[in-house]
Chains A and B, each alone.
Chain A
């Protein structure tokens, strides 16, 4: 059938992606803008080229075409810049970034923006499981659905999902906000410590220690502002959830004291 190609992944003798540390110098640079064609590049080469042009060439607007779902693309960029992926960057995209504004014109796989510290990532399609795992700051906007355990261990920042969210979304969330416009599957906010989750659709079930809360003016102001920034229109009617703080880890008694009480 038309369009079937050979794999573009290259392995060294140990079965790992090739370890050559030199950037490929293939980006087309035009002033402060640049385009990287990732077709024939490995993950490592793409990231080396991206860092070269952002850090050494003063480029602040990069478009990566044909990313080919090659995994771990655009990671560890610690500078304000604009990065656009024309297509799917695969798994582990944009992890540990601090500052970039990332636009993904396609879908993403698992673990998008893990440990992201600041900046924004906007995905035009769906995202896989573990989206925004351990997110520390910045905004993550997913215009499609997200998979299971989105925002697991989230420590800050905001995750906005226009579609539905999978099982255990907000699992062990510690801080920050999640806005889910669609439905949420079982175990929403299970074992969350802090932070807020807003849901527009149906909720299959709440997780342990995740409880309903009252929406106030500051919630509406926050949500409206986020929707305005990203041009998302009018937010739907949302329900708010937070940590009930009744799990054992909120028990201030020492074991010996607990024995006396009980």
Chain B
């Protein structure tokens, strides 16, 4: 099933961590397997990397801490070799890390070099975006990663009910659009021409972090953005290029968009005011954030909407 949610604060940064958590927790019934967030703050001169060095399922095994320590040392060594100046690094969980670096080079080269380390997955890279995701419901991920203090201008989130791929972090949303900075996607649905598009994008030089169909959307859109296409047009193309049933949200450093397939089989409810735009699979998530009766609407089939943040 899965549930998706998004927030734009038009009046400046807000407590995005706590707000998205409230929305996602209210949709726990749509997916208790994993919860993920893509937070966007004002763009920074530094690059933020969120990465993990092991799956949470592996955590605590024999020699685990030593293995993580070796991998972390290797990450720091490779960052130095590639010319990235490590400013800060820390971990809330023991296996997932957040680092701030000063780096002007190619992000693909950086991501590939880090992911060459066994067990290393880059979750997000960019000057504005940070992706946090883990197993369990929103409240447990909030607590584990201390998300209560995270502020942001906009964000998207996802609760996952695993259906066609494993309950692990690699299959959890949001997906960063490797290797493009600051693009993230959450998706509810199934893409039935996943393998066709995966082969097509792999032939174009892209690689995928997971076996999850949703990752295709992120890379597909980012490739179109990279070619100069605007987000709204790229999303409209996706309605024709993707088969299946889907509703997805995509965010960049300064935009957020929604798209719904032609069957409108996956829900989305939208609330828009002068200072706030909120969207979610179910209205109950909007009510978890906005404490009053509000006029909401369901976007129609084949509807694409984008907002400038």
Contacts and interface: CB of A to CB of B under 8 A. Distances in A.
B298 A9 contact: no
Nearest to B286: A69
Nearest to B284: A69
A106 interface: yes
Interface string B276-309: 1000001110111111110111101100000000
A90 B287 CA distance: 10
A7 B267 contact: no
A125 B26 contact: no
A147 interface: yes
B283 A148 contact: no
A88 B283 contact: yes
Nearest to A86: B293
Interface residues of A, number: 37
B269 A109 contact: yes
B213 interface: no
B9 interface: yes
Interface in A92-127: 106-107, 109-110, 125-126
Interface string A52-90: 000000000000001011110000000000000011101
Given A109-B269, A166-B264, A15 B137 contact: yes
A230 interface: no
Contacts of B90: none
A110 B284 CA distance: 12
A70 B296 contact: no
B226 interface: no
A129 interface: yes
Interface residues of B, number: 37
B290 A68 contact: no
A69 B284 CA distance: 5
Contacts of A1: 9, 11, 14, 275-276
Contacts of A186: 262, 301
A34 B290 CA distance: 27
B28 interface: yes
B19 interface: yes
Contacts of B292: 3
Contacts of B287: 8, 68-69, 88
B28 A11 contact: yes
Given A3-B291, A3-B292, A9 B301 contact: no
A9 B293 contact: no
Contacts of A185: 300-301
A190 to B, nearest CB: 12
Contacts of A137: none
B298 A68 contact: no
Given A6-B22, A7-B25, A69-B283, A129 B290 contact: no
A262 interface: no
B25 to A, nearest CB: 6
A71 B301 contact: no
A110 B28 contact: no
A5 B283 CA distance: 14
A167 interface: yes
Contacts of A11: 28
A9 B284 contact: yes
B25 A5 contact: no
A15 B267 contact: no
A88 B276 CA distance: 19
B264 A148 contact: yes
Nearest to B290: A3
A9 B286 contact: no
Contact of A110 (B26, B267, B289, B300): B267
B300 A125 contact: no
B29 A109 contact: no
A91 interface: yes
A7 B29 contact: no
B117 interface: no
Contact of B282 (A90, A129, A147): A90
Interface in B112-138: 137
B265 interface: yes
Interface of A: 1, 3-9, 11, 15-16, 66, 68-71, 86-88, 90-91, 106-107, 109-110, 125-126, 128-129, 145, 147-148, 166-168, 185-186
Given A15-B29, A185-B300, 9 more contacts: A15-B28, A15-B32, A107-B283, A107-B296, A109-B282, A109-B298, A128-B269, A148-B265, A166-B300
29 contacts: A1-B9, A1-B11, A3-B290, A4-B291, A5-B289, A5-B290, A5-B291, A6-B288, A7-B23, A8-B288, A9-B26, A9-B284, A15-B137, A16-B29, A68-B284, A69-B283, A69-B286, A70-B284, A88-B287, A88-B293, A90-B284, A107-B296, A109-B267, A125-B295, A128-B298, A166-B300, A166-B301, A167-B262, A168-B263
